[in-house]
Chain A
Amino acid sequence: AQKITQTQPGMFVQEKEAVTLDCTYDTSDQSYGLFWYKQPSSGEMIFLIYQGSYDEQNATEGRYSLNFQKARKSANLVISASQLGDSAMYFCAMTPDRGSTLGRLYFGRGTQLTVWP
């Protein structure tokens, strides 16, 4: 069975500072994909970043980077230079399919990030 754990219900960060959102996962699969999504209060899930289990380099997308530690089964999201518009719920998710986003996504419970001026 797949399980995603996000232990931080809420995080606060000052504008322009960096913040790390924690995510650990549990799976017996050798091949899987890890994702982070942002969900503003409007409800839409916005894709941020993807990491394949066989990718040796940590994924980066603009101000987002994924700190992937396979042996520890962690996939933390780092947001650099936080902006007020980053305030939202952030979800870590995993698919057990082989490097593909086509399978079902398993989500954590989310972390509410608040960026203050």
Chain B
Amino acid sequence: DAGVTQSPTHLIKTRGQQVTLRCSPKSGHDTVSWYQQALGQGPQFIFQYYEEEERQRGNFPDRFSGHQFPNYSSELNVNALLLGDSALYLCASSLRTSGGTDTQYFGPGTRLTVL
């Protein structure tokens, strides 16, 4: 049973560039959430996708956008990269059940460095 996978593992970009990060959820899960974790901080919620739509969004600018595909996998896109976007980007998947308490399972993350 494959867990949450993310690609790439590491990425180096320069300011102003655009980046796409990818996430495949755990088998059987239909909901994907993205988090940004700056060095020495706890993860910050970016947004959540379910049924190919953005359902919740944290306090992140429109430069951050996403997509969910019919197979539940997801992409996170960041445009016009800033130095402050350097962070570990974590993807979490879960199963949307009514009143359920299914755990959010996290992937290994993508470490993005912006120079």
Determine the residue in chain A with the shortest Cβ distance to B50.
A102
Residues of A99-113 contacting chain B, CB below 8 A: 99-110
Q: How far is the CA of A108 from the CA of B41 in the complex (A)?
A: 8
> Does B73 interact with chain A (Cβ within 8 Å)?
no
Q: Interface size (B, Cβ < 8 Å)?
A: 30
Residues 43-73 of chain A, each 1 if its beta carbon lies under 8 Å from chain B, else 0: 1111100101000000000000000000000
Are the C-beta atoms of A45 and B33 separated by less than 8 Å?
no
Known A-B contacts A45-B43, A104-B56, A108-B42; the reply to A50 vs B101 at CB < 8 A is yes
Are the C-beta atoms of B88 and A43 separated by less than 8 Å?
yes
Cβ–Cβ < 8 Å partners of A91 in chain B: 42-43
Q: Which of A44, A91, A109 has the most CB of B within 10 A?
A: A44
List residues of chain A with CB under 8 Å of any chain B CB.
4, 33, 37, 42-47, 50, 52, 91, 93, 98-110
Of B40, B42, B56, B101, the residue contacting A33 (CB under 8 A) is B101
Q: How far is the CA of A98 from the CA of B98 in the complex (A)?
A: 10
Are the C-beta atoms of B101 and A106 separated by less than 8 Å?
no
A-B contact pairs, 21 of them (CB 8 A): A43-B88, A44-B106, A45-B90, A45-B106, A47-B106, A93-B42, A99-B101, A100-B97, A100-B102, A101-B103, A101-B104, A102-B31, A102-B94, A102-B96, A102-B104, A104-B45, A104-B56, A105-B33, A105-B104, A107-B42, A107-B44
Q: How far is the CA of A47 from the CA of B103 in the complex (A)?
A: 7
Are the C-beta atoms of A43 and B45 separated by less than 8 Å?
no
List residues of chain B with CB under 8 Å of any chain A CB.
31, 33, 35, 40-45, 48, 56, 58, 88, 90, 92, 94, 96-97, 99-109, 111
Cβ–Cβ < 8 Å partners of B106 in chain A: 37, 44-47
Q: How far is the CA of A47 from the CA of B101 in the complex (A)?
A: 13
Q: How far is the CA of A4 from the CA of B92 in the complex (A)?
A: 19
